[in-house]
A and B are shown apart, each in its own frame.
Chain A
């Protein structure tokens, strides 16, 4: 099945991670931009999220998906959060609270 996703570059994705994926005493919290649920993440998971965010912003998300597949697949639960980040790709405004 072709799971290629068309994405356009947007600064909103890394912006979201900067603001809504803070480190709290060495642990990471993440706010899902779609469901507005929170998750506690490991540092490794945050690295994957950041790589995914960079890929989305650089218009190479499909390559990133291929790299994940080649590397053995997604860590448990993480694909769902990355897919949520792709939904920010068309956001060109920043309606988020300061």
Chain B
């Protein structure tokens, strides 16, 4: 395969195709998608992107541009940041396109195909907690998308690298078993390095899980662990608020979130210590029918 050919990534609930002549991008992509085998032909992809180099004569450094459907939906990034641009850009495109599913902004991990959902706003520690739970033995379904089949209520995996930022890179990186991709310093979101989910999670990327427990996490430096039950009606509202396409789907998403709230138990968890949070979540999960 030449670098300019589309490279297909089957991440579970979606397929991505990306083409780029930038060799370092392909090296980085190989680091964070190490389990993907090349797929030949021209199969369907939910999002098809190209990452193309900008002008080499730009005074303030060369850039990389993301193209999708003949449009440039984002500002260019520095040339050596093609991977973060691909990850953020393709997540954005998927959040607009996968309207066959209710898409929650949530981390998802599972044990014995029973899923824990972690819906949260950016900056709440969702990605860090998702990665830490995965390293503690949970199956990784996603750090970004809770993909809900609105008919069955099941969760579909979207196994992609999780972008750790700033202090989280070290917090997760020094845990046993953690595999991280290259470090991208001083991006628009700070320092970024992508956490790589394990091979077992990758191989299970088409195996659905049953939602069992919902935790709304909120990291607060130095805070003592504080966990409070969330009434189901309030949980349904909060799940809807943490969705990419709730309002677009209207009655379908309303019924799906009500069903999700009815079949799960929900808690709000404020934490300052990752291991303490994991231990508490495991106790809650084991006690959930």
Contact = CB atoms under 8 A, between A and B. Distances in A.
Interface of A: 19-20, 22, 24-25, 27-29, 31, 35-38, 40, 96-97
Contact of A31 (B248, B251, B262): B251
Interface in B242-266: 246-252, 254-255, 257-258, 261-262
A52 to B, nearest CB: 20
B233 A37 contact: no
A38 B252 contact: no
A27 B254 contact: no
Contacts of B255: 97
Contacts, number: 48
A50 B251 CA distance: 19
A96 B251 contact: yes
Contact of B252 (A27, A28, A97): A97
A24 B258 CA distance: 8
B261 A24 contact: yes
Interface of B: 231-234, 236-237, 240, 246-252, 254-255, 257-258, 261-262
A25 B229 CA distance: 13
Given A24-B258, A29-B258, A40 B234 contact: yes
A24 B233 contact: yes
Contacts of B240: 38
11 contacts: A19-B251, A24-B231, A24-B262, A27-B234, A29-B236, A29-B237, A29-B258, A36-B247, A37-B247, A40-B233, A96-B251
Closest 4 interchain pairs by CB?
A27-B233, A36-B250, A24-B233, A31-B254
B260 to A, nearest CB: 11
Nearest to B233: A27
Contacts of A37: 247
